[in-house]
Amino acid sequence: MHWINWLIVVVYLAYVIIDGIRKSRDTDTIHGYFLASKSLPWWVVGLSVMATQLSAVTMIGTPGQGATDGIRFIQLYFGLPLAMVILGVTLVPFLHGSGVYTAYEYLERRFDARTRSLTAFLFLLSRGMSVGAIMAAPGVVLSAIFGIPLVWSVALIGVPTVIYTMVGGVQAVAWADVKQMVLIIVALLAIVVVLIIQMPVQPDDALRIAGATGRLKAFDFSFDLTETYTFWSGIIGGTFLMLSYFGTDQSQVQRYLAAESVDAARSSLLMSAYCKIPLQGLVLLVGVLVFVYYQFTPPPLLFNPTHESAVVAERGDVYDALRQDYTSTFKLREQAARAAVDATDENGAARAMETFLAREADIQAIRGRALTLAEEVTGEASRDTNYIIPRFVLSELPIGLTGLFIAGVLAAAMSSIAAELTSLSTTSVIDFYRRWVKDDADDAHYLRISRGATAFWGVFACVVAIYAATLGSLIEVVNRFGSFFYGSILGVFLLAMMPRAQGTGSFFGLLVGMGVVAAVAFGAPDVSYLWHNVIGAVTVVIVGLVLGGRGRGQEAQADRAPRLIVRL
Amino acid sequence: MTNEDVPSSAAPRSTFKTTLIRVLVVQVVALTVLALIQLRYHG
């Protein structure tokens, strides 16, 4: 990469650390450290929520998905606006007004300590592993693209993030998120503008080519439980997923708990409701445009440079033959694409498009053979979707913009990781250390423990990321296990809104909900994970209400605690 | 349903309705744009 691009990346990293330390001045209490003393304006929280949700995978993997699979992924977000509105009138006012540090802390006030501790433990288990995976994903890609050891790429992302998160707490993280979000949007818009300028055909023709290959199909109305991205899974499953994520996941809840008022907290979530679908559309559009761009500019046969080098070294003869085939077929496809664009009558355009689609199928078949070859040589699954955008950025973008995009990827990674670290640290200290170990210490003590917890989780995340390849199956198991209880935890919070529900029912409802989702996941593995959230939440609510009986102690406790009453 | 911890006047409900309508309008516009793109370009 050109030194100017590296300079942009280094300046960005230095700025993030310096700014984070600068923002740490007001964090001399745990209220300041974990909740920014409830001082953040709505737009800071709103951008922070969006930045947290937008990880490096979104910057690298989602455009790659747009390039290979089109924009149908956007259906996942169809339920988000409704979920934000529901949360704005239910959970947000209660959690913000109840003075809690974590969502799970509220569950003890409403139900009992075991429900709180179980949900908090499940959060630590899943997020502890996933933060490593969030760091590993861009780490592996940057390592392969720049040819540097994985340890270095993980350190590039992890060290600055841990420093500013540990020193500055939520205040530093939220303000860093604002700048990171701006950087991400600028980088995405810049790449779209460059793509449109460099595209050898008009935007309308580019979209016609993309549309002919099915990449502009945004809606799939089939009611198929095994299909992940359909209109119905997005509207129903997506709503439950977003309710779970934004309403019960501490990494999100902590953002709006730090808002200066309930209205600010609500407004911050509505920013996502308004902007998420257009933003996700922009990310996918980048991928679609890159796909069209590579109709007229020869793309690499394998986008993962490490795999390409390995294949060339071990099966060079076979790979050369494939590459020759690929080059000649590419020329035929390019001719067909140009003929489709240049056709003056409708019949001619249709015929040319048919030829183009046949050549496109040939290209995909050759790519499939190359990917299989890479898999045989490296012994690794060779889906190179995540490498399409980095390769494009490095080889096709002008100097400066490449650095901007790489800084954007780092920003996306760091904002997500920082949110995870603060939430893991908060849950560890508030829901376990202060609850079960030492509940009478002074603020300075808790602040020291909190910084230590943040550092611990940061180091833990880096270690998991470095050993991600070795821990691959373990991470997968934990992630899969995580999907078992995401909807179930939502079910517990839904029960909290219902006057009849009590601690025993909620606790056992949570266990039964997780069991039912596990049974569905293993018994009917084809059912999309989006439906697991619906199944888990509904099961917990039913079991919780059926078991609704309560002991006297719980009764007294439940009557004192505020309830989350739905007023819809 | 009742709740003593959160203002329960008509004002929040009307704010919620206004917000809900705004969000739904934005949602409908976004989905319409996607539908138009699909109708025009999807083969």
Question: Do the chains contact at B42 and A270, CB–CB below 8 Å?
Answer: no
Q: Is A255 on the interface with B (CB under 8 A)?
A: no
- Find the CATH number of the domain harbouring A23: 1.20.1730.10
Please report the DSSP string for A28-82 in residue order: SSHHHHHHGGG-B-HHHHHHHHHHHH--HHHHHHHHHHHHHH-SGGGGGGTTHHH
Q: How far apart are CA A404 and CA A9, in angstroms?
A: 7
Q: How far apart are CA A110 and CA A233, in angstroms?
A: 31
pLDDT at position A379 over 80 = yes
Q: Which residue of B has its CA nearest to A85?
A: B20
Residues A365/A394, Cβ–Cβ less than 8 Å? no
Interface test with B, best of A76, A85, A266, A284 (most B CBs within 10 A): A85
Lookup: tokens for A424 = 């893991």
Q: Is A199 on the interface with B (CB under 8 A)?
A: no
Classify residue A182 as exposed, middle or buried by CB count within 10 Å of its CB (0-12, 13-18, 19+). Answer: middle
Per-residue pLDDT reduced to its tens digit, B2-43: 344 444 445 555 666 787 788 888 888 989 999 999 999 876
CB contacts of A98 in chain B (<8 Å) are 5
pLDDT at position A218 over 70 = yes
| Alpha-carbon distances, residue A193 vs A253, A280, A285, A339 (angstroms) | 35, 17, 11, 25
Interface test with A, best of B2, B14, B19 (most A CBs within 10 A): B19
Q: Is residue A68 part of a domain?
A: yes
Lowest mean pLDDT: which of A82-86, A365-369, A425-429?
Answer: A82-86
Classify residue B31 as exposed, middle or buried by CB count within 10 Å of its CB (0-12, 13-18, 19+). Answer: middle
Residues A330/A298, Cβ–Cβ less than 8 Å? yes
Q: Is B25 on the interface with A (CB under 8 A)?
A: no
CB contacts of B38 in chain A (<8 Å) are 211, 216-219
Question: Nearest Cβ partner of B27 from A81, A207, A211?
Answer: A81
pLDDT at position A319 over 60 = yes
pLDDT at position A285 over 80 = yes
Q: Which of A469, A488, A515 is the last residue of a domain?
A: A469
Q: What is the pLDDT of residue A477?
A: 60
Question: Do the chains contact at A562 and B3, CB–CB below 8 Å?
Answer: yes
CB contacts of A74 in chain B (<8 Å) are 34
pLDDT at position A292 over 90 = yes
Question: Do the chains contact at A98 and B5, CB–CB below 8 Å?
Answer: yes
Lookup: tokens for A208 = 């016609």
* Cα distance from N-terminal residue to C-terminal residue, chain A: 55
Q: What is the pLDDT of residue A556?
A: 42
Please state the φ and ψ torsions of residue A259, each to the nearest 5 degrees. -70, 155
Indicate whether A266 and A354 sit together in one domain: no
- Torsion-angle region of residue A219: left (phi > 0), alpha (psi -120 to 50) or beta? beta
**What's the mean pLDDT in A485-500?**
89
| Domain region containing A368 | 305-383
Residues A211/A432, Cβ–Cβ less than 8 Å? no
Q: How far apart are CA A51 and CA A30, in angstroms?
A: 23
Question: Do the chains contact at A211 and B26, CB–CB below 8 Å?
Answer: no
Question: Nearest Cβ partner of A212 from B20, B23, B43?
Answer: B43
CB contacts of B8 in chain A (<8 Å) are 567
pLDDT at position A20 over 70 = yes
pLDDT at position A118 over 60 = yes
Q: How far apart are CA A262 and CA A260, in angstroms?
A: 7
Indicate whether A222 and A325 sit together in one domain: no
Q: Is B13 on the interface with A (CB under 8 A)?
A: yes
pLDDT at position A7 over 90 = yes
Band of pLDDT at residue A470, cut at 50, 70 and 90: low
**What's the mean pLDDT in A498-527?**
89
Indicate whether A101 and A40 sit together in one domain: yes
Indicate whether A336 and A445 sit together in one domain: no
Per-residue pLDDT reduced to its tens digit, A50-61: 998 888 888 888
Mean pLDDT: which of A129-138, A240-249, A286-295, A347-356 is highest? A286-295
3-state secondary structure (DSSP) of residue A411? helix
CA A156 to mean position of chain CA atoms: 20
Q: How far apart are CA A103 and CA A279, in angstroms?
A: 28
Q: Is A98 on the interface with B (CB under 8 A)?
A: yes
Indicate whether A265 and A367 sit together in one domain: no
Indicate whether A168 and A149 sit together in one domain: yes
**What's the mean pLDDT in A118-137?**
88
Q: Is A229 on the interface with B (CB under 8 A)?
A: no
- 0.90 exceeded by pTM: no
Q: Is the dihedral of CA A197, A202, A204, A205 positive or negative?
A: negative
Q: Is residue A227 part of a domain?
A: yes
Name the average pLDDT for chain A: 88
Q: Is residue A81 part of a domain?
A: yes
**What's the mean pLDDT in A555-565?**
47
3-state secondary structure (DSSP) of residue A259? strand
pLDDT at position A193 over 60 = yes
**What's the mean pLDDT in A41-53?**
92
Indicate whether A194 and A333 sit together in one domain: no
Q: Is B16 on the interface with A (CB under 8 A)?
A: yes
Indicate whether A319 and A417 sit together in one domain: no
Return the closest-CA partner of residue A409 out of A137, A17, A52, A60: A60
Q: What is the pLDDT of residue A331?
A: 95
Return the closest-CA partner of residue A138 out of A403, A406, A371: A406
User: Which amino acid, A527?
Assistant: V
Q: How far apart are CA A231 and CA A234, in angstroms?
A: 5
Question: Do the chains contact at A217 and B42, CB–CB below 8 Å?
Answer: yes
**What's the mean pLDDT in A85-91?**
89
Q: Is B27 on the interface with A (CB under 8 A)?
A: yes
Indicate whether A238 and A288 sit together in one domain: yes
Q: Is B38 on the interface with A (CB under 8 A)?
A: yes
Q: What is the pLDDT of residue A475?
A: 55
Indicate whether A261 and A134 sit together in one domain: yes
Question: Nearest Cβ partner of B5 from A84, A97, A277?
Answer: A97
Q: Is residue A543 part of a domain?
A: no
Q: What is the pLDDT of residue A551?
A: 44
Q: What is the pLDDT of residue B11?
A: 54
Interface test with B, best of A217, A230, A231, A261 (most B CBs within 10 A): A217
pLDDT at position A558 over 50 = no
Q: Is A84 on the interface with B (CB under 8 A)?
A: yes
pLDDT at position A391 over 80 = yes
CB contacts of B30 in chain A (<8 Å) are 277-278, 281
pLDDT at position A560 over 70 = no
**What's the mean pLDDT in A202-207?**
92
Return the closest-CA partner of residue A267 out of A112, A434, A46: A46
Length of chain A in terms of residues written? 568
Q: How far apart are CA A6 and CA A3, in angstroms?
A: 5
pLDDT at position A62 over 80 = yes
Q: What is the pLDDT of residue A474?
A: 60
CB contacts of B9 in chain A (<8 Å) are none
Question: Do the chains contact at B31 and A78, CB–CB below 8 Å?
Answer: yes
Lowest mean pLDDT: which of A323-332, A348-357, B8-17, B30-39?
Answer: B8-17
Q: What is the pLDDT of residue A428?
A: 97
**What's the mean pLDDT in A209-215?**
92
Band of pLDDT at residue A34, cut at 50, 70 and 90: very high
Question: Nearest Cβ partner of B43 from A71, A211, A270?
Answer: A211
Q: Is residue A542 part of a domain?
A: no
Band of pLDDT at residue A528, cut at 50, 70 and 90: confident
Please state the φ and ψ torsions of residue A526, each to the nearest 5 degrees. -75, -15
Number of domains forming the structure of chain A = 2
Residues A466/A154, Cβ–Cβ less than 8 Å? yes
pLDDT at position A156 over 80 = yes
Q: What is the pLDDT of residue B8?
A: 45
**What's the mean pLDDT in A95-103?**
90
A482 vs A363, more confident: A363
Q: Which of A356, A383, A410 is the last residue of a domain?
A: A383
Q: What is the pLDDT of residue A549?
A: 55
Band of pLDDT at residue A312, cut at 50, 70 and 90: very high
Lookup: tokens for A291 = 């796909």
Band of pLDDT at residue A272, cut at 50, 70 and 90: confident
> Which residues lie across from A40 on neighbouring strands?
A259
Band of pLDDT at residue A473, cut at 50, 70 and 90: low
Question: Do the chains contact at A562 and B19, CB–CB below 8 Å?
Answer: no
Lookup: tokens for A290 = 């890159």
Q: Is residue A164 part of a domain?
A: yes
Per-residue pLDDT reduced to its tens digit, A410-454: 999 999 999 999 999 999 999 999 999 998 899 999 999 999 999
Q: Which of A408, A440, A469 is the last residue of a domain?
A: A469
Question: Do the chains contact at B38 and A213, CB–CB below 8 Å?
Answer: no
Question: Do the chains contact at B34 and A563, CB–CB below 8 Å?
Answer: no
Lowest mean pLDDT: which of A20-24, A144-148, B26-30?
Answer: A20-24
pLDDT at position A18 over 90 = no
Indicate whether A451 and A322 sit together in one domain: no
Per-residue burial over A24-36, b if 16 or more Cβ lie within 10 Å, else e, is beebebbbbbbbb
Please give the share of chain A, as a percent, with pLDDT higher than 90. Answer: 57
